[in-house]
Structure 1
């Protein structure tokens, strides 16, 4: 990968990767809890979700903000911000199906924002 291409892809790639890890965490937690209900206390610890949200916000600000300055399109950042908002709102819900549904929806929206940002840069 050339240096210029790597610099364009770096933050969006990290953002999409983080969104993917979040999605895998949510789905793996649900599957794991079906198999081992006693593990729920560790994997559903709120600090994991709070740290993940902080990372998503940080990567979103860096990548999507840089994208606005680079290509001038607001839509990727708006979609990414909506995803972060949905993920933030999910933290206020009690653990369960609703929280997981909104978290996954937020992660998908954020990943879509990063993907659109990456496409707009090229």
Structure 2
């Protein structure tokens, strides 16, 4: 019973993770265009605090949603993919702002998003096997 109540929360966290990953990728691409192409918003768009906060938020959401799914379904792939993505995102904080940082971040958010998608698929597959929503 408790598992059925918790599952919608985990699905929402997976969806939030996918949305935030996409928003992060858009932010990276927009930052490059606006700052390098037009010379606008360098202080705001390239602030290291935005990237640190994004990594913290991504880590929390992925840790809860995907970690929860890995424990429940005993499938490591979503967790491994997402943690690899978080590693790329962390690596992006160690390089100077610019194309290298954007590439590392976009690879990272794509992998985190894929981890959330895999987590949702495994959740659905488990629900089909068990005969109830997970």
TM-score (norm 2): 0.83
| Alignment check: 8 A CA contact 1:71 1:121 kept | yes
Alignment of 1:1-122 (within 5 A): 6-122=8-124
**Considering only aligned residues, what root-mean-square deviation do their CA atoms show, in Å?**
1.6
Q: For structure 2, which runs of at least 5 residues remain unmatched after alignment?
A: 125-134
Distance in 1 separating the partners of 2:72 and 2:15: 16
Q: Compute the displacement of 1:7 (Å).
A: 3.5
| Alignment check: 8 A CA contact 1:82 1:106 kept | yes
Matched positions, count? 120
* Change in CA separation of 1:81 and 1:4 when aligned onto 2, cut-off 3 Å: closer
Q: Which has the larger radius of gyration?
A: 2
Distance in 2 separating the partners of 1:86 and 1:4: 30
Distance in 2 separating the partners of 1:53 and 1:116: 20
* Change in CA separation of 1:31 and 1:38 when aligned onto 2, cut-off 3 Å: closer
